[in-house]
Amino acid sequence: MRFDEYKRRVFELVAAQGCDGAELFMRDSEDTAVSVLEQKVESLTYSHASGVCLRVKCQGRDGYYYTESMDDPDSAVAKAIDNAKYASPDDHPMNTDCPCAYDMPDSDDTAERVSTGDMIDIALDTEHYALKADECIKRVQYNEVAKSVFTTVISNTQGLDAAYTSSVLVSCFSPVAEKGEEKQNGYTFAQGADVRSPKSTALRGVQQAMSKFGAASIPGGDYKMIIQGKAMTSLLGVFCEQFYADNVQKGLSPLAGKEGQTIAAACVNLTDDPFLRALPRPFDDEGSLSQVTPLVREGKLCSLLHNLKTAKKAGCKTTANAHRPSLSSPIGVGCTNLVLEEGETSLENMLRIMGDGLLICQLSGLHAGAEPVTGDFSLLASGFEVKDGKITRPIDGITVAGTFAKLLQSIDTIGNDTHLSEPMGSVFASPSVYLKSGIKVSGE
């Protein structure tokens, strides 16, 4: 059964059962991935998934039902209504502000113009350029090009009918460098149009692997440090949950009651931007029109991220940040693309300003070592030691610890070298930041 016919039948059944309303949310995705090692295609996979989630409102309760088949609308409605009977009372409203049209933001549509053959050639070339770059590069550990094209459709009994199609293209690459008995690996990725530059991807991975030779720990203590954009996007990806209004309202965020207050250094401007070209969207998972939402301006918390339910509770308007972690999940709150806005200082000048300290390039152990509710973190880190404004040697085997709040307050300078994270549902963007204090280092 096609979606339009399924929708018509579902909405008829819901009305006949005396429900207060209903909503259908459908997502359809096509995924292709190519892996190349030793100049041979190691794997080529293609998958297609489609599913639809029905939400019904019955006597002040929401009932959800998810299915991958649209063949039996009668059963879907019956099960959703039955599920509503056992749900807690919920005042989550449906979207009644239904625009006539949604304009798709400007996006990088390279994925839609790249064939499977193109993807294979890109992966082959990436490995080729890496192996030719330096005699220390003996092999490649990981080399994949992947693309996803997905369509989102949402309709409700209030007149909402909206749909958009988006796409993502990513190249992920990890070469292995060997010098004597020492082995080091690099990891880099490209997205969108940059995937079509395999030599650049390869050389970045090679440079990263080669730069790690001789890495060692350092004594623990208090260091000035620069956290590179890549590492900062990892932190934003973990602690973005503090800005979700549902977490604040449940007491699961330290930002409760702090709107209008200073929570970061005056140079910090943090924005939720659904129009970022890497992964834009015209509306959220409730059909509310997307908008740019300033979260922090000149260090002050000026907004949280809301869906219709949290906005109603707070007495404000939604920021169009309704989010479904999966098709079978209830509606929550999520960021679109979280951007720490860049400054005007180059990384080279930031190193000069810092003088002596650390350049942190990578953080790991975020799932176990970071706590979004409190903001505490204790993470494995690697990067470089800096003396007199110049990188002197690679470091690893250290732990950096602190709180996200203290980190934001300790930012002295923000760079102009914005790094984008991999597009995994959301994109996190951050330049390098210089901290004079606030982070404790444990080492040898």
Read off the pLDDT of residues 287-327 as tens digits, 9 standing for 90 and up: 999 999 999 999 999 999 999 999 999 999 999 999 999 98
Predicted confidence (pLDDT) per residue in 162-197, tens digit: 999 999 999 999 999 999 999 999 999 999 999 999
Give me the pLDDT at residue 1, please. Answer: 84
| Alpha-carbon separation of residue 84 from 15, 37, 63, 64, 349 (angstroms) | 15, 51, 4, 7, 59
- Distance (Å, whole) CA 204 – CA 121: 19
Average pLDDT over residues 383-391: 97
Average pLDDT over residues 336-357: 97
Task: Provide long-range contacts, Cβ within 8 A and 24+ apart, for 87-92.
Answer: 87/61, 87/62, 87/63, 88/61, 89/60, 89/61, 90/60, 90/61, 90/62, 90/309, 91/60, 91/309, 91/312, 92/62, 92/308, 92/309, 92/331
Predicted confidence (pLDDT) per residue in 231-289, tens digit: 999 999 999 999 999 999 999 999 999 999 999 999 999 999 999 999 999 999 999 99
Average pLDDT over residues 345-374: 96
Predicted confidence (pLDDT) per residue in 39-72, tens digit: 999 999 999 999 999 999 999 999 999 999 999 9
Q: H or E segment at 142?
A: strand 137-156
Beta-carbon count within 10 A of 192 CB: 21
Predicted confidence (pLDDT) at residue 349 exceeds the cutoff of 80: yes
- Distance (Å, whole) CA 395 – CA 213: 9
The rounded mean pLDDT for the chain is 95
Strand-pairing partners, residue 52, are: 26, 67
Q: How confident is the model at residue 389 (pLDDT cuts 50, 70, 90)?
A: very high
DSSP tally for the chain: helices H, then strands E = 11, 23
The pTM assigned to this predicted structure is 0.94
Give me the pLDDT at residue 178, please. Answer: 97
Q: Are 53 and 28 in contact (CB under 8 A)?
A: no
Question: Cα 13–15–18 angle (5° rounding)?
Answer: 110
Q: Which residues, in sequence order, are CB contacts of 261 under 8 Å at separation 6+? A: 300, 301
Predicted confidence (pLDDT) at residue 106 exceeds the cutoff of 90: no
Show the domains of the chain with their CATH numbers.
3-210 (3.30.2290.10), 221-442 (no CATH)
- Distance (Å, whole) CA 300 – CA 259: 8
| Alpha-carbon separation of residue 417 from 26, 111, 215, 388, 414 (angstroms) | 37, 25, 24, 21, 9
Predicted confidence (pLDDT) at residue 101 exceeds the cutoff of 70: no
Of 234, 283, 236, whose CA–CA distance to 97 is shortest? 283
Coil, strand or helix at 118: helix
Average pLDDT over residues 79-83: 97
- Distance (Å, whole) CA 169 – CA 121: 14
Question: Cα 423–426–431 angle (5° rounding)?
Answer: 80
Q: Which residues, in sequence order, are CB contacts of 280 under 8 Å at separation 6+? A: 104, 105, 106, 107, 166, 274, 290, 337
Higher pLDDT, 390 or 329: 390
Of 186, 174, 189, whose CA–CA distance to 211 is shortest? 186
9 burial type by CB count under 10 A (0-12 exposed, 13-18 middle, 19+ buried): middle
Q: Say what percent of the chain tops pLDDT 70.
A: 99
Predicted confidence (pLDDT) at residue 328 exceeds the cutoff of 90: no
Predicted confidence (pLDDT) per residue in 213-246, tens digit: 999 999 999 999 999 999 999 999 999 999 999 9
Give me the pLDDT at residue 100, please. Answer: 60
Coil, strand or helix at 159: coil
Task: Provide long-range contacts, Cβ within 8 A and 24+ apart, for 312-318.
Answer: 312/91, 312/93, 313/249, 314/245, 314/249, 318/284, 318/286, 318/288
Q: Are 397 and 444 in contact (CB under 8 A)?
A: yes
Give me the pLDDT at residue 424, please. Answer: 87
Average pLDDT over residues 387-391: 97
- Distance (Å, whole) CA 183 – CA 138: 10
Q: Are 73 and 80 in contact (CB under 8 A)?
A: no
Give me the pLDDT at residue 286, please. Answer: 95
Q: How confident is the model at residue 99 (pLDDT cuts 50, 70, 90)?
A: low
Give me the pLDDT at residue 91, please. Answer: 84
- Distance (Å, whole) CA 67 – CA 230: 38
